[in-house]
Amino acid sequence: MRERPIFVTESDATRIRGLLAVRESVERDQDHLQELKAELERALVLEPGRMPCDVVTMNARVQVLDLTSGERRDLVLAFPWQADISAQRISVLAPLGTALLGYREGDEVEWVMPGGLRRLRIEKVHQAFRTDASGARETLAAAAV
């Protein structure tokens, strides 16, 4: 678990809490899902217009560097029904997805994955919404993400 709170939009927090509630009766992955629940409880929940643009939000495209292997990957943080490993769309309910949620560019993430402890650096974040001239945020089309 992280020492400082993560940033999550109000709508993402609501949807993720709903997913966790549905999965409470499922026996597998409960330890991991409890960690995600604890992260949400510590999160700074913000309106989308107040979300810093360098934070990993749902549907954000993220470039990460594996600090052990040196491998760079481009991923999209997705809801479970959008996840597609061949398209690099990682579910927020997967350990890697949970590890990325709410982190910012430049942050280093240390999280226990099925293969052991992984250390990643968030190198670049492209959120799935943009800010217009008035400062309001609008959602980008899924195809543009």
Ordered per-residue pLDDT tens for the chain, 145 residues? 456 789 999 999 999 999 998 877 666 666 778 888 988 999 999 998 899 999 999 999 999 999 999 999 999 999 999 999 999 999 999 988 999 999 999 999 988 777 788 899 999 999 986 544 444 455 444 333 3
Q: Going along the chain, which residue ranges are E strands? A: 7-9, 44-46, 61-66, 72-78, 89-91, 108-113, 116-126, 129-131, 137-139
Extents of the domains making up the chain: 7-128
Residue positions counted in the chain: 145
Q: What is the pTM of this model?
A: 0.81
Q: How far apart are CA 74 and CA 123, in angstroms?
A: 10
7-128: CATH number: 3.10.50.30
